[in-house]
Structures are given as structure tokens and as C-alpha cells.
Amino acid sequence: MTPASVYGEFANDRFVRMLADQTQQLQAQVGDAFARAAPLCIVGGGTKTFLGRSTKGEPLDITTHRGIVHYQPTELVITARAGTPLSEIEAVLDEHQQILAFEPPHFGGGATLGGTIACGLSGPRRAYAGAARDFVLGTTLINGRGEVLHFGGEVMKNVAGYDVSRLMSGAMGTLGVMLEVSLKVLPRPSHELTLAQVSTATAAIAQMNQWAGRPLPVSATCFVDGVLYVRLSGAASAVASAHRQLGGEIVDDAADFWARVREQRHRFFAEATVLWRVSVPPATPSLALAGDCLLEWGAALRWLNTAADAATVRKLAEQAGGHASVWRGDASNEPFHPLSPALLVVQQRVKQAFDPKGIFNRGRMYAEL
Amino acid sequence: MSLFEQPMVENAGSADKDALLAALRALLPNEAVLWEEEDLRPYECDGLSAYRRLPWLVVLPSTIEQVQAVMRLCHDRHVPVVARGAGTGLSGGALPHEHGVLLSLAKFNSILAIDVMNRTARVQPGVRNLAISQAVAPHGLYYAPDPSSQIACTIGGNVAENSGGVHCLKYGLTVHNVLKLKILTAEGELLTLGSEALDAPGYDLLALFHGSEGMLGVIIEVTVKLLPLPERAQVVLAAFDDVVKAGAAVGEIIAAGIIPAGLEMMDRLAIKAAEDFVHAGYPLDAEAILLCEVDGTNEEVSEHILRIHDILQSCGAVEVRTARDEHERMMLWKGRKAAFPAVGRLAPDYYCMDGTIPRRHLPAVLQRIGELSREYALPVANVFHAGDGNLHPLILYDANQPGELKRTEEFGGKILELCVAVGGTITGEHGVGMEKIDQMCVQFAPAELQQFHALKAAFDPAGLLNPGKAVPTLRRCAEFGAMHVHRGQLPFPELERF
């Protein structure tokens, strides 16, 4: 029996729940760090340390705080501790023909739920189903004062209090230590089919956006190596009908292709010396930059392998209404797009509101946060 | 009534009203400042008319620069500001401050740009929800969230309340359908949150602003995401002789892997009221009906309708009927959409509640609401967004009977506390506003409320935006005397634990 099915079956067993509940130890460690104003570095599976800026501090290990706390398939909600391996959650959902619809990348075997939400990472389905933050329903966290707080819940609609849970998504652990996260889950589509056709970047951008404006069951798109890929998901009849409309060659190893794109194991990523992540309005024309590109999310997400200088890439992204991050390969530049001075001040105040002594993942996202 | 506790703003009312009026009139055109009592009267309440209060002054600016000037002035003089859209809110969120300026955004009613290729619309906050879908329909697009007030409610208010609607199980809430906001801070500074791309750098303040009830800033521009109109939509009506069976059917549909576009339940009293009012064709002998709509491509809808038919029958529905044509589909929805006013015909007044519960607790919660209804001698009709667990009990009462409103509010408060006890929330889509502020003490622990106050102070250190709403002071909670009900400490032992 795999650990996944153990947790699935005994999810409501008090004993199993208690075994992995490290709340008090984590709270004590944060409380102690608060008293000493000592910086902490929140550690999960360590699969996303390459992302963003580096941070120094005493390690706060959440990997032993693990286990699925609650899962009711017909309620479309799962609650798990932050240290729960993402693969364990996906395996339990799979037993009930359900999925995390934001299709998160793992970037390694030890990826945890907490790290995934903290980094706010979403995969190929993002443009069609929503981002990680769109599926966050509630969270339990420790703030910078060492208080255990609970926000949101296990229901889809909830407007009591500010939406702190979604704020945690993408905050890279700089606002609090997530202990538990509740996520909306969705049924796994009964049928999927991936089609490929030869294209150019310009034609692919236009095609992806035309498809998105029509009621088609598209669940992922990608352009790389002169080929446009589109994944269709849904009822068998809907997928078949869309196949007739869209045309193209059926891709046989489709699951593998999307996994390689999602996990950045595709050749394109391996070859990139400096990898830029450029997020723009989807119909933005190809950016005037030398180098190879891979397009995802209906062309709203553009991965660039370019030697162009940071100022040029950022200026082009900004002119298009988007932003650009150095994903990896260039430590001389700030990883994330600079914030306007006014916005930075507000974000510093938000940080201060949760973490008055600045103990959590100091400087992990921006030097000032 | 405790609801009219003075909002906590230090020195509120100490500003000189005449001097403020003169300063505002210097900033704005003559007709954009109201101060005579007869002109202020229309602003005394929002959709929750049981709570009324006259504002000090009303301003109706028409440019961002004017709003900015008003914000700066009010900030300098320490005057509270309450923003207002169409005033359709149901929780008193736009209830004026008696020593404050009521900022109406009614003149910001232009659709600024429609971007067909990127499928977005950039609109001013006073644009009506439905007007967006109407404007983009020629391009085969629409804006998905559809609160029942969509004819009148504005997009700025939708963001402030994170409004839902009957289609949010499949298409999400306002927060899932907005890409970018322009807001003004309490100091009058213009900030852009989110972007026209799918994400933005830094903290997700765009998400934070959704449902923040005018406490963090004034929304001055909204860029919404547009979706392609579905090829086809079809609705199935199922009648049940037992509410429990209807509840189980909802779970079975979802377990079958189908996410309906809409999934609504009504109980006997709501069915009767709606049928008498609009003659939708509902079966009057049913204890509960389910309306289940699926949309998508033609083939997908046909496939799902067949399966839903089978599921409903195997769950013991006494009648299952698919709308034969668009007219019948519209009639079946008309009954549901008219449920509130229909119930309103049964009594002089009604009070609409808005709790959300994990769906599996529906039978127990409905049973307890029935018991409370007998205890308080006030009838209740139940309308339920069954797909996402959002319950709207409508309590019937007569405000002219002494003490009946107070009894109704007490009853309503009990229902909300029940929602929290089963792991739900006191408000699914109407907001806390003034109405549910005491129940916030039940749902949140003191440290959680303090965290909300700290977050508010990050945006509005002086506490001038919509003071006294949404998040209670700890003192108020102490006076209310409510026990904070935390998970696992259920005060209703008869309810199934989770």
C-alpha cells in the first residue's frame, strides 16, 4: 500500500492526523525567532530554491508537517498540510478521478504543497482553468508574531474577512509559514487529445488567440520548434468534434510532451543559457528579441532563451503591458520585474503587517520585502 | 440597536462641516456636491434597507483627478469616505458615515475599451455588470459572473464584494474574472494592481482587493476577462419528495465528473412563491427542486444531459424534465431568479441570509433552520446555490410588528453561527458590511481579527475608508459576547462532525 492510499483511507483518523502535526514545534520555533528577530528560511522539498533571490536564515523545515487532513471528493475540496508531497496529493486525487486543475510543475521529486502554493506556480492548463491562487480556498498559517491563524475555509464562496489565503499564493513564504492549505479540485476530464501542426511564432500567437475566443474544449497550448500543440479535454464527443474543426496530427506521447514542458525537461529549457519568463497579454506580437522562444498559455507566457540585456527585455515586456523575470542563468540581475516605487511601499507595508520583524524568507522575492 | 454603534474613527466629526463643504465645492462642479437633507436621503441605505443613516455630504465626481482631489482633502481633514456604486449591496457595506463623505461612483459609467483579440474589457467602476456582456456580445464574448442583481449592480461593487452568481461553480467568482484594477489609496495615490497579462510581479494585491468592501482603497478602473459564449446551454429540472435526496443528487452529479454551469435548489415554500409569481412550471407538490444547467459545445451538452437524467432518476427524483426549447429554459430560470421578490410577496418584509456550508451538511442545516423557524415563529424559504454550498434562507417578517425585526436579526445571526459550526462561513457572496459584523466574532479568533486590522492599516493607516464595517474591533466582540467557534469545537452536538 502506498503512503498516498494510507492517507487517503485514514484521512479522518485522529491518530494519523496527530502523528504528523508539527504545529506546536513550528510555532515555538517562529515564536523564538520573533523574540530574537532572527531570520528564518522556510524549507520544504528544496525543489524551487533556484527560483527568485537567495535568503539566509535558520532553516524552518516543514517537510515533517505532512498528511492529507481532509478530502471529500464530492465537495471538490482537499485540505492538506503544507509539507505533504505534491505527488501524494495528486495520487489520492487520481484514485477519485480528480485533479489539481492548475497542473502545477514539481521541478523535482520532493515538491510539497506549501512550496507549490508559496511560489504560485501553475502549469499548461493555467490559461484555460486558472492559476494556483484561483484554487486556494483557505489556509492556516503562522504569522511573523508566531500566531497560528486560519483564513478562508473549505467552501467555494467565502467573503468573510480579507482574502489572506490567496495573498499567500506567490508570496514566496515572505508573509507567513503556511501550515495547511485547502484547494478546490476538479474532475479529471474523461478524454484528452493533443494535436500538432507546423506553424510560425506569429501564426501560432494568432491561432491560439482565435481558438481562445471560440467555445472549444482547449486545455493547453504550446508553440516550440516550429510546431503548434493544442490539447483538447472534455467529453469524448466534444473532443472529437473539436478535433474535426481544428485538424492537425494526433500526438501519441502527449502526456509525456506536456510533462516535459511543465517540468521544463523539454530540450528548449535544457539548451537555454539565460532563461527569461515573459508574461504579456496573449495577443501581443512576437517580441523583437534575438533567440529561441517557447510559448505557452495561449501565448500569454513566453519563455525566451536570449542574450539580450535585462533592461531591453523588461522594457519590451512592460511596453506590451506585461513583465519579465530572469528564471535562471543570470545571477547579475534581479530575478523579478521591479515594482513601481508606489507599489513597493504598499507591499512593504503588507509585509510589515504580517511579519513586523522581517523574519520570514527575508529578501527572497525582493530585497525590500 | 447595537448595529448602530458609532464607527471608530478618532476625532470623527471634529472637522468643520461648512469648511469641508466649501472646499469640496471649490474642487467639484456645483451639481456634484450634495448637502441638503432631501438630496442626501436617497443615499441613506443600500439594498439592506433595514439599516439607514444620512451621510454628512455626498459627492459625485466624474474624473479620476476629481476623486483624487476629494480623497486628498478628506485625508488631510481626517474625514471618513464611504464609496458607493449602484447601492444594490445586501449587507449595508455602503451605509454612509454620519460624519463622512459618501463618494458615489455613479458617473464613472463608461466602457473604456474592448480588446477582442485579448478578450478583455477595460471599464469604469460604475458600469453595470450586465452592460459589459451586452456590449461584447456582438464579438461572441461575455463576462461570466452573474449576480442576480446584474441588471443594476456595478462592476466596482462586484469587485468590492467579490460577487458570485448562479454560474460560479464552473466559471468562478469576480476574483477569477478580473485581470487588473486601478485604485486610489486613502491618500489619493493611484495604483495599478494586476496586469493585462495572466499574472503580475509582487504580492497578489489584485486578489486581496476582491471582497475588501471598500476598506483598502477606491476602485477607479476595472479590466475584466471575457469568455467565448457557449455554443449551447440546456437546463434540467428535477423534483424530489425529500430535501435529503435532492442534496444527495447534487453530490452524485459532481462525483460523475460533471461540473454544471449552474446547480440551484429551492425548497417547498420557495417553489410555491416562485410558481405563484411567475408561473415557471414548477411542480407544487415537490419538497425540493433542482435546476441543473450544463453548457459547452453541442455534443458535450447532449452527452451530459443524458447522464444527468440518469443520475437524477437513480437518486429518486419523482420528476425529471429537460427544457424543450429556449423559452422553457428561460421560464425555468425566471422562477429561480425571481425567487427573492416572489418570497417577498408572502410577507410585508423578508430578510435574505447568505451563509455557505460544506454541501454534505445541507440536510442537518435545513433541519436546524426549520427548528429555529418554529422557535422564532418566523417562516423561512430556502434558496440554495447547491453546487457551491451557498445557502440563502429568506426569513419572512413584518417590520411594523414591534420587536419582529430584532427577532429576525437574532434568528439570522443563529443561522450564520450554524454555518460556521459546520465548517462554513457567515457570508458567501453578500459581504459582511454592517450586517454580519458581530458574526465575524464567531468566525474569527481575536488574533485573526487583529491581522485583518493590521492589513487594513497597511493601506489606510488613519482608518478613513468605510470605517466600522467588515471587521469588528475586539472591543465590539467582547461586548457582543459571542463565543468564537473554531473548527472541531461544535456547539451543535447533534450535527454530523467532519
Residue B390 near chain A (CB below 8 Å): yes
B355 and A CB contact within 8 Å? no
Interface of A with B in 308-367 (CB under 8 A): 321-323, 325, 336-340, 342-344, 346-347, 349-354, 365-366
As to burial, measured by CB atoms within 10 angstroms (0-12 exposed, 13-18 middle, 19+ buried), residue B462 is middle
Percent of chain B clearing pLDDT 90 (strictly above): 85
Whether residue A13 is predicted with pLDDT greater than 90 in this model: the reply is no
Query: Is residue A224 domain-shared with residue A287, that is, in the same domain?
Result: yes
Distance CA B330, CA B326 (A): 6
For residue B9, name the pLDDT band (cuts at 50, 70, 90): low
pLDDT at A87 over 50: yes
pLDDT at A308: 94
Confidence band for A19, pLDDT divided at 50, 70 and 90:
low
Please give the Cα distance from B493 to B414 (Å, whole number): 15
**How far is the alpha carbon of A220 from chain B, nearest alpha carbon, in Å?**
14
Q: Which residues of A touch B353 (CB under 8 A)?
A: none
Q: Is the pLDDT of residue B483 over 80?
A: no
Give the gap in angstroms from C-alpha B335 to the nearest C-alpha of chain A: 23
For residue B482, the model assigns a pLDDT of: 58
Q: Which residue of B has its CA nearest to A213?
A: B228
Task: Say if the Cβ atoms of A323 and B200 lie within 8 Å.
Answer: yes
Whole-number pLDDT of residue A330: 86
pLDDT at position B7 is 46
Tell whether A231 and A297 lie within a shared domain: yes
B87 contact A CB<8A: no
Whether residue A117 is found in the same domain as residue A135? yes
Please state which of the ranges A343-357, B11-25, B26-40, B249-263 shows the lowest mean pLDDT: B11-25
Does residue A356 lie within any of the structural domains? no
Question: Does A128 share its domain with A249?
Answer: no
CB of B343 closer than 8 Å to CB of B273: yes
Nearest to A187 among B204, B257, B427 (CB): B257
Chain A: closest CA distance from residue B404 (Å): 27
Q: Are A167 and A300 within one domain?
A: no
Q: CB-based contact (8 Å) between B187 and chain A?
A: no
Out of B297, B425, B429, name the one closest to residue A217 (CB). B297
Contact A149, A141 (CB under 8 A): yes
Q: Provide the shortest C-alpha distance from residue A265 to chain B (in Å).
A: 23
Domain assignment of residue A283, yes or no: yes
Name chain A contacts of B140, Cβ cutoff 8 Å.
213-214
Residues of the domain holding A105: 3-187
Q: Is B210 part of the contact surface with chain A (CB cutoff 8 Å)? A: yes
Whether A246 maps to a domain, the answer reads: yes
Contact B89, B430 (CB under 8 A): yes
Q: Do both A168 and A182 map to the same domain?
A: yes
Residue-wise pLDDT tens digits, B207-224: 999 999 999 999 999 999
Under 8 Å between Cβ of A280 and A320: yes
Q: Do B454 and A147 touch (CB under 8 A)?
A: no
Chain B: give the shortest CA distance to residue A81, in Å.
16
**pLDDT band at B295; cut points 50, 70, 90:** very high
- Least Cα distance to A111 among A182, A70, A62 occurs for A62
Q: Using N-to-C axis directions, what is the helix angle for B243-255 and B362-376, rounded to 10°? A: 150
pLDDT value of residue B289: 97
Q: What is the pLDDT of residue B12?
A: 56
In a domain, A338, yes or no: no
Number of domains observed in the structure of chain A: 2
B170, B198, B443, best to mutate vs chain A, most A CBs in 10 Å: B198
Say yes or no: A259 and A168 in one domain: no
Indicate if A206 and A143 belong to the same structural domain.
no
Interface test mutation site (partner B, options A75, A117, A159, A211, max chain B beta carbons within 10 A): A159
Predicted confidence band of residue B15 (pLDDT cuts 50, 70, 90): low
Q: Please, which residues 424-483 of chain B have a Cβ atom closer than 8 Å to chain A?
A: 424-432, 436, 440, 443-445, 447-448, 451-452, 454-459, 470-471
| CA–CA–CA angle B323, B324, B327 (5° rounding) | 75
Together in a domain, A240 and A264: yes
- Looking at residue B241, the DSSP 8-state letter turns out to be S
The owner of cell 540585456 is A309
Which of A 246-305 lie inside 8 A of B, CB atoms?
A: 279-283, 297, 300-301
| Shortest CA distance from B211: residue in chain A | A159
Q: In angstroms, what CA-CA distances link B166 with B225, B387, B392?
A: 18, 9, 12
Rounded to 5 degrees, what are φ and ψ at B173?
Answer: -95, -175
Instruction: Give the model confidence (pLDDT) of B238-264 as tens digits.
Output: 999 998 899 899 999 998 999 999 999
Which pLDDT band, with edges at 50, 70 and 90, does B485 fall under? low
Contact present, A310 and A318 (Cβ < 8 Å): no
Residue A305 in domain: yes
Burial of residue B493 (CB within 10 Å: 0-12, 13-18, 19+) is exposed
The pLDDT value recorded for residue B341 is 87
- pLDDT digits over B327-365, tens only? 999 999 999 988 888 998 999 999 999 999 998 898 889
B204, B229, B471, best to mutate vs chain A, most A CBs in 10 Å: B204
pLDDT score of A21:
86
Tens of pLDDT, residues A204-247 = 999 999 999 999 999 999 999 999 999 999 999 999 999 999 99
State the CATH number of the domain containing residue A105. Answer: 3.30.465.10
Closest CA of chain A from B343, distance in Å? 24
pLDDT in tens, A249-278: 999 999 999 999 999 999 999 999 999 999
Predicted pLDDT of residue B166: 86
Cβ <8 Å between A159 and B432: yes
pLDDT at B372 over 80: yes
Q: How far is CA A62 from CA A59, A89, A178, B42, B314, in A?
A: 9, 16, 9, 55, 45
pLDDT range class, residue B408, cuts 50, 70, 90? very high
Whether A140 maps to a domain, the answer reads: yes
Q: CB of A241 within 8 Å of any CB in chain B?
A: yes
Q: Do A130 and B300 touch (CB under 8 A)?
A: no
In the predicted model, is pLDDT for residue B62 greater than 60?
Answer: yes
- Res B486: pLDDT: 53
Together in a domain, A288 and A140? no
Domain boundary, last residue among A170, A187, A204: A187
User: B-chain residues within 8 Å CB-CB of A124?
Assistant: none
Same domain, A107 and A148: yes
Q: Please identify, among A187, A206, A221, the residue that sits at the C-terminal boundary of a domain.
A: A187
Among residues B376, B85, B328, the alpha carbon closest in space to that of B219 is found at: B85
Burial of residue A35 (CB within 10 Å: 0-12, 13-18, 19+) is exposed
**Average pLDDT of chain B to the nearest whole number:** 92
When CB atoms are compared, the residue of A217, A353, A369 closest to B455 is A353
Q: What is the pLDDT of residues B445-475, one digit of tens each?
A: 999 999 999 999 999 999 999 999 999 999 9
Residue A355 lies in a domain: no
* Contact map slice: B 253-292 vs A, CB within 8 A: 254-255, 257-259
Residue B494 confidence (pLDDT):
42
Q: Residue B363 has what pLDDT?
A: 85
Q: Which of residues 28-57 of B touch A (CB under 8 A)?
A: none
Q: Which one of B118, B258, B428 has the shortest CB-CB distance to A281?
A: B118
| Statement: residue B102 has pLDDT above 60 | yes
| Nearest CB partner across the interface for A149, out of B116, B358, B451 | B451
Among B173, B204, B444, select the one facing A167 at the smallest CB separation: B204
Q: With a cut of 50, say whether residue A7 has pLDDT above it.
A: no
Overall average pLDDT of the B9-27 stretch: 81
Looking at residue B3, its pLDDT comes to 39
Evaluate whether A222 touches A264 at the Cβ level (below 8 Å): no
Interface of A with B in 127-146 (CB under 8 A): 127, 130-131, 133-134, 143
Whole-structure pTM value: 0.94
Closest among B432, B226, B451, B179 to A353, alpha carbons compared: B451
Q: Is residue A358 part of a domain?
A: no
The last residue of one of the domains, among A132, A156, A187, is A187
Question: What's the rounded mean pLDDT across residues B55-80?
Answer: 98
Distance from CA of B138 to the nearest CA of A (A): 12
Q: Contact B197/A281, CB-based, under 8 Å? A: yes
At A9 the pLDDT is: 42
Instruction: Identify whether residues A171 and A35 lie together within a single domain.
Output: yes
